[in-house]
Structure 1
Amino acid sequence: MKHFLLVLLLLVSSPAFSQDLAVGQPMPAFTVSNEQETIKSLNLKGKVVLINFFATWCGPCMQELPQMQQFWTAHKSNKNLVVLVIGREHSQSEITAFKAKKGFDLPMYPDEKRTVYSLFATQYIPRNYLVDAQGNIAYTSVGFEQQEFNRMTSKVEELLKRAQR
């Protein structure tokens, strides 16, 4: 019995059984909506997509979001890039108030019941997923470190150059 439980524990904790999406996997199908628009992931093929999951109470998220805002400001005119900043367990009214308080114009979407988040991961924020123009996960990160954020934005630039060819 002990042996069976040990094998079961190893299987369940194995990365193969993890629900967190990894590089190379396809982006799952989902829909996000805010006051201005509804985005369906199935309509994003051919674009580079940066998905950020955050919460307003999350310290590392509060470090990362101003960086994300700067990135968005520099790239929002690029039609080959879609940025989705998704508030895990936040309502539209919370997102609207947060954006106003922080002065952000990032495209933010509520995910009050973790409907979208649960397709990508089981825990931890901030969390980023970068999707290539073919619809596959090209980069992932958890937490916030400036160096890691810089690596991610460099990868975005690389994917955008490929998408424009």
Structure 2
Amino acid sequence: MKKLLATLLLLGLVGYGLWQVLAENNEKTTGLAIGNAAPDFELKTLDGKSIRLSELQGQKVILNFWATWCPPCRAEMPEMQNFYEKHNKDVEVFAVNLTSQDSRDKVHSFIKENGLTFPVVLDEEGDVLKLYKISPIPTSYIIDSEGIIRHKYVGPMTYDQMVELTESMK
């Protein structure tokens, strides 16, 4: 009888441990590490339209942090526009301007001069900059269609790098 009780207790503990592991694997951990769900945020475009990152779930996303005063960021934007024009059915480009370190007028002029057509939102208070612990810029997160971070890229990306990083995930 003691052996039976000990066996049942052991099976119960093993079952509980297995249940805990499965429960943890089914929950998405939010954070900045590869494999975590990307932290959600909402910012506005120059024309006042609010966009929430989670609204883009269901498609791949390049989440890019940039500023007009940053030479590598400026060099990356034409590459990003080229990528967006060719891949916007499969991948959304979502650019966060660090407006807390920039001005709305400069952002507006830059977008117009460079013919940017992908969504650009303004981080006027620097909250998303802090949330994503961005330093240096440009920095991009490549997020899969389920909202999971698959890559982090620090520095300016080329068109080919954008293609490679987005095609390497589901």
Q: TM-score if structure 2 supplies the norm length?
A: 0.71
Deviations 1:63-93 (A, max 9, x none): 11111011011122x1x43211111133444
From 119, 124, 128, the equivalent of 2:136 is: 124
Is residue 69 from structure 1 mapped to residue 85 from structure 2 by the alignment?
Answer: no
Is residue 28 from structure 1 mapped to residue 25 from structure 2 by the alignment?
Answer: no
Match of 2:119 in 1: 107
Q: How far off is 1:136 after superposition? A: 1.0
Unaligned runs of 5+ in 1: 1-19
From 50, 54, 67, the equivalent of 2:62 is: 50
Q: Do the aligned partners of 2:83 and 2:162 also contact (CA within 8 Å) in 1?
A: no
Q: What is the identity percentage for the equivalent residue pairs of Structure 1 and Structure 2?
A: 31
- Larger of the two Rg values belongs to structure: 2
- Size of the alignment, in residue pairs? 137
CA 124–29 in structure 1, closer or farther in 2 if over 3 Å, else same: same
Match of 1:6 in 2: none
Q: TM-score if structure 1 supplies the norm length?
A: 0.73
Match of 1:98 in 2: 110
Instruction: Tell me, in whole angstroms, the C-alpha distance in 2 between the residues paired with 1:104 and 1:72.
Output: 9
3-state DSSP class of the match of 1:63? helix
Instruction: Tell me, in whole angstroms, the C-alpha distance in 2 between the residues paired with 1:36 and 1:154.
Output: 33
Match of 2:93 in 1: 83
Q: Which has the higher contact order (CA 8 A, sep 6+)?
A: 1
Unaligned runs of 5+ in 2: 1-30
Aligned AA (1:47): Q
